Amino acid sequence: MDGSLSLPNPSVSRRQLLNFFTGAIVAATASAALYPGTKFFVPPAETTDADGSILAKDQLGHPIPASQILDEPTGTRALIAGLAGEPTYLTVKEDGTLDSMGIVNNCTHLGCTFPWNPVDQQFQCPCHGSRYDAQGSVERGPANRPLKLVHVQVKDNYIWISPWTEIDPRTGEKAWWV
Ligand code: FES
């Protein structure tokens, strides 16, 4: 025993330090590369108003200015991402405002999405042929329930969507989805 203290080998310390910095650089590079990918899979947070309304967004998750939809001709049905991301039709009325009633694009037969047919003035489901009028009432089955409704409001040029929990004005009865 020589009584000397065992000091770390300086060359090992330098190697450890180098390994640490190399690891940190690799981790930072990987994070930077993965961030856009992970961000893509994480849905954007919903913007909620004091009354529980959510901000309508386009399919990329960007809020849609009301003026962008109101620039379209009257009678236009514009598709937006509504409550829980459900695709929802908004209607530009004859007076150039947005209809306060939005129609959820989810067929009440088996849930297909469907286009608006401006010639027939109907929502026409391509899956099994159900047809709905402009307000979402069934004109032809197999669907036997009207389309879901939501409330639509414009505030400060943005569109806000909230659940429809009252009587369904098309049937005069309690809304079936409540
Ligand atoms: S899902 Fe629309 S008619 Fe069947």
Does residue 62 have its Cβ closer than 6 Å to ligand 1? no
Looking at residue 72, the DSSP 8-state letter turns out to be S
> Ligand 1 centroid to 90 CA: how many Å?
21
Give per-10-residue mean pLDDT for the chain (178 aa). 45 55 49 41 56 84 91 93 92 94 97 96 97 97 97 93 95 95
Residue closest by Cα to atom 3 of ligand 1: 128
Q: In terms of Cα–Cα distance, which of 142, 132, 145, 153 is closest to 174? A: 145
In a 3-state reduction of DSSP, which class is residue 163?
strand
Does residue 115 have its Cβ closer than 6 Å to ligand 1? no
Give the per-residue pLDDT at 35.
41
Give the per-residue pLDDT at 84.
87
Q: In terms of Cα–Cα distance, which of 123, 130, 128 is closest to 144? A: 130
d(CA 132, CA 116): 9
Does residue 107 have its Cβ closer than 6 Å to ligand 1? yes
> For residue 96, which phi and psi values (nearest 5 degrees)?
80, 10
Instruction: Tell me the CATH number for domain 54-168.
Output: 2.102.10.10
Residue type at 146 in one-letter notation: P
Residue to mutate, 103, 117, 128, 148, ligand 1, most ligand atoms under 8 Å from C-beta: 128
In 46-148, which ranges are E strands? 54-55, 77-81, 87-91, 101-104, 116-117, 122-124, 131-132, 138-140
The residue ranges of every structural domain in the chain are 9-42, 54-168
Give the per-residue pLDDT at 7.
44
Give the per-residue pLDDT at 14.
59
d(CA 95, CA 66): 14
